[in-house]
Structure 1
Amino acid sequence: MPTPTAASSAATAAEAAQVRAFWQGLGLPGLIDVHTHFMPENVLAKVWDYFDRAGPLVGREWPITYRADAAARLAVLRGFGVRAFSSLLYPHKAGMAEWLNTWAGEFAAETPDCLHTATFYPEPGAERYVAAAVDAGARIFKAHLQVGDYDPTDPLLDGVWGLLADRGIPVVTHCGSGPAAGRFTGPGPIGAVLDRHPRLPLIVAHLGMPEYTGFLDLAERHPAVHLDTTMAFTDFAEQAAPFPAALRPRLSALQDRILLGTDYPNIPYRYHHALDVLARLDLGDAWLRAVCHDNAARLFALPGSGS
């Protein structure tokens, strides 16, 4: 992994001051970012290579802004004042999920500010290893319908969704069709899961980009559904999937169920930009406090959440 240069270190320090000023100005104790990526180094290297080649699921130039080793990436997040984050990881084929969960459990044990993360794939034994991860302390799961290319209504997953719904464990799910549509993306397939498991605390990644309206509909129908802000409203995303201004009042109405997410470190811009664009929505400081900290603190019963 590359090491930061003096110039990049200075830029990161300056940015850290900006990020800290943002949340301090809101009277928050820090940020909670539910959509960040930490995974085995060999897996992350393959992910970065895919972005570097602008693979079919990316479809455009996508430079990785925070390309560094895990220790450096953790230091940057902590320097920003991110008090809790995730290690979202996901399989693209059968036989990967269980060993990814083993790695994530070890990472969480070594990284107390990381929410213990796990994942799954539609395969025999999925309910067993998901139950094992939950028993080991997993607090958040990741499901990637685009990369995994699987139907969330697959019978092999019914027990998984049911277990997570019963235990109230959130699942960050890439179910929107951005940046490229998959066979099972869009509100329909995951909506069928929610119809069967209405208590499932689903977190729709990227606000469901680009099917914003359909995923806002799902959140309004299902009180357990949340949405994360990952990449939404950024200049990069607005070029391909602009968020309709007419939908902003619905964001305001869902103030208690929108969560900060960034996709750090796999973003083609600076972290501070993801916060700036939320402020630009002009939905008020109370909305920003809820989105950037309080909603996730309550959802994960973190210290200071009042839960």
Structure 2
Amino acid sequence: MTDRSGGPGVPLAPAVDGHVHLMPERLMGAIRESLNDVAGWEFPHGADVTAVEAELRRHGVARYVALPYAHRAGIARELNDWLVDAAADSEMCIPFATVHPEDDVGAVVREAFDAGARGLKFQCPVQEVAPDDERLGPAYELCAEYGRPVLFHAGTAPMFEDSAHVGIDRFASFVRSYPDVRACAAHMGTFEHEAFIDLAREHDRVFLDTCFAMATVVGDYVDFDPAAIPDAVFEDLAGQVLYGSDFPNMPHAYEREYEGLLARDLSESAFDALFRGAASRFLGPEVDLPAADAHPTDGAEP
């Protein structure tokens, strides 16, 4: 059962964070510099594995999904290898892989899956590839073969409303073409959250994650109010909406990501689905996730 005490030590234990970024130092630095240039965001959190995992444990997170993305051709193999190696030394990390559409898509993805990557991540506007881009077909076929999911930045938030690579139409086109592949739209699909929620109601293999969109401070950075998504969505789509944070690439304290969710008037089953059960459904039975009575932050600093 999710601890909703809000007290020190284990404010939401035991949780799964379905949206965390781990990348080599140089690449992470470049991404942060770009976000600072475009949006003016500052990043107070350390981005190395040790710092990331220490902060996640402090908030009761037992496992997290680590998401890379290749912004240009030719770097995905090295990036995937780095992340799988990092996960091998961690009890918390669940590594995903990525691929660029101009790579040998099938070969890169098969190698990553065979090495231990548990799914795929596409940052569609940055990678300039839509979910329904035919060049990604070999990747999706391998997802179906291996039973691995895909997580997309498929919505227009926070600054991609003019991008041809995002939006409900491109994501829905993918869902129609690959109905057996589990697919998650990050950030609740904002700024088209209503359409993404409707699509999830129609397809039980469509998932949404909460990262950034449901933060209590999201309105300080983009024009979105978490109250636009009522409690009924989390009840009706229990098992399809998973908690995620975007950590460590967030310009605010980690607890801002979950405090508003814990304050909602949800049933215990909806809370457990949000912080664990949906992640289990999305990742599949081969990924070991914490039991409801586990407390991974015992002994951690408050």
TM over 0.5: yes
Deviation for aligned residue 1:281: 3.0
Q: Quick one: which of 37, 45, 48 aligns to 2:21? A: 37
Structure 1 runs of 4+ off > 6 angstroms?
none
SS in structure 2 opposite 1:34?
strand
Task: Report 1:61-72 matches (<5 A).
Answer: 61-67=40-46, 69-72=48-51
Indicate whether 1:208 and 2:189 are aligned. yes
1:103 to 82, 87, 90: 82
Q: In structure 2, what is the equivalent of residue 258 of structure 1?
A: 241
Question: Quick one: structure 1 residues 115 and 287, their matched pair in 2 at CA, closer, same or farther if it must change by over 3 Å?
Answer: same
Partner of 1:189: 170
Q: Distance in 1 between matches of 2:117 and 2:253?
A: 29
Identity of aligned pairs, percent? 29
1:118 is paired with a residue whose SS is coil
SS class of match (2:184): strand
Establish whether residue 229 from structure 1 lines up as the match of residue 210 from structure 2.
yes
> Which residue pairs with 2:298 in the alignment?
none
> Are 1:208 and 1:215, in contact at CA under 8 Å, matched by a contact in 2?
yes
The partner residue of 2:199 within 210, 218, 221 is: 218
Q: Tell me the number of residue pairs that the alignment of Structure 1 and Structure 2 aligns.
A: 280
Counterpart code for 1:230: C
Instruction: Tell me the CA shift for residue 228 of structure 1.
Output: 0.6
Q: 1:90 Cα deviation (Å)?
A: 0.3
Displacement, 1:229?
Answer: 0.6
Aligned to 1:22, the other structure's residue is in SS state coil
SS of 1:91's equivalent in the other structure is coil
Counterpart position of 2:11: 22
1:250 and 1:77, CA in 2 relative to 1: closer, same or farther beyond 3 A?
A: closer
Equivalent residues in 2 for 1:82-231, closer than 5 Å: 82-181=61-160, 182-231=163-212
Opposite residue 119 of structure 2, the aligned amino acid is I
* Alignment partners' CA distance in 2, 1:191 and 1:252: 23
State the Cα deviation string for residues 84-137 of structure 1 (Å, max 9, x = none): 112211011211212211111111112232002211121241111101111112
The offset of 1:148, in angstroms, is 0.7
Query: Match of 1:297, as an amino acid?
Result: S
Check if 1:269 corresponds to 2:252: yes
CA shift in 2, pair 1:161/1:298, >3 Å: closer
Question: Residues 297 and 142 from structure 1, CA distance in 2 versus in 1: closer, same or farther, beyond 3 angstroms?
Answer: same
CA distance in 1, matches of 2:25, 2:106: 26
Partner in structure 1 of residue 299 of structure 2 = none
The superposition leaves residues 13-36 of structure 1 with CA deviations (integer Å, 9 ceiling, x where unpaired) of xxxx84644325xxxxx1100100
Measured in 2, the distance between the counterparts of 1:234 and 1:115 equals 23
Tell me how far apart the structure 2 counterparts of residues 132 and 86 of structure 1 sit (CA, whole Å): 19
- State the shift of 1:244 in Å: 5.4
Could you tell me the TM-score, scaled by structure 2's length?
A: 0.85
Rate the CA distance shift 1:265–1:274 in 2: closer, same or farther, 3 A. same
Matched residues in 2 for 1:99 and 1:42: separation?
Answer: 13
Q: Which has the higher contact order (CA 8 A, sep 6+)?
A: 2
Contact map agreement 1:212 1:243 (CA 8 A) in 2: no
Q: Tell me the distance in 2 between the aligned counterparts of 1:200 and 1:84.
A: 22
Task: Give distance in 2, aligned partners of 1:303 and 1:93.
Answer: 33
Deviates more, 1:277-286 or 1:209-218: 277-286
1:149-206, CA deviations, whole angstroms, 9 ceiling, x for partnerless residues?
1133222211211221332212111000000122211111121111010011111111
- The match for 1:7 is none
Q: Distance in 1 between matches of 2:248 and 2:7?
A: 17
